[in-house]
Amino acid sequence: MQNLQQTLERFRSRVNEDLRVKSLIRNWRRMIVVKADDTGEVFTLRVDAGAITRVEPGDHGEDELILLSGDEQLIRGVFAGERNPAKEYLDGALTVLGDEADKMKLDAISVVLWGEIP
């Protein structure tokens, strides 16, 4: 089983290879901070110039920040396309903080990559 960092790295590769997602995040420059509440692990995904440029340990979010947090297993499921992020968000299991448009874009990435997840 992959750990959280491996899952995020795999997500990064998938995003960077998908032309539709690259178009979606073309002018999007954000820091996505991912926190696992139960294990305390924290990673930051840097999004710039239509790609996720880095996945690095720690919280490096400043102004242009989106924060995702939840249990590690849940976060891994969301970033692996196994769980529906919109549903987990509505249920309160996944916390997403940031501008409304950013939350929307993040969910749109999931829809483009994996389509409808039951």
For residue 43, the minimal CB distance to other proteins (Å) is 16
Work out which of 20, 38, 58, 82 binds other proteins, going by CB under 8 A.
20
CA distance 55 to 37: 18
Q: Which is nearer to other proteins, 49 or 97 (CB)?
A: 97
| DSSP 8-class letter at 75 | H
Site for other proteins in 42-101 (CB under 8 A): 65, 67, 69, 84, 86-87, 89-93, 95-101
In single-letter form, the type of residue at position 93 comes to A
Q: Do 13 and 113 contact (CB within 8 A), yes or no? A: no
Q: How far apart are the first and last CA of the chain?
A: 22
For residue 117, the minimal CB distance to other proteins (Å) is 9
Assign residue 50 a region (left: φ > 0; alpha: ψ between -120 and 50; beta: otherwise): left
Q: Which is nearer to other proteins, 8 or 68 (CB)?
A: 68
Question: How many residues would you count in the chain?
Answer: 118
According to the binding rule CB under 8 A, does residue 40 interact with other proteins?
no
**Residues at the interface with other proteins (CB under 8 A):** 20, 23-25, 65, 67, 69, 84, 86-87, 89-93, 95-101, 103-105, 107-109, 111-112, 116, 118
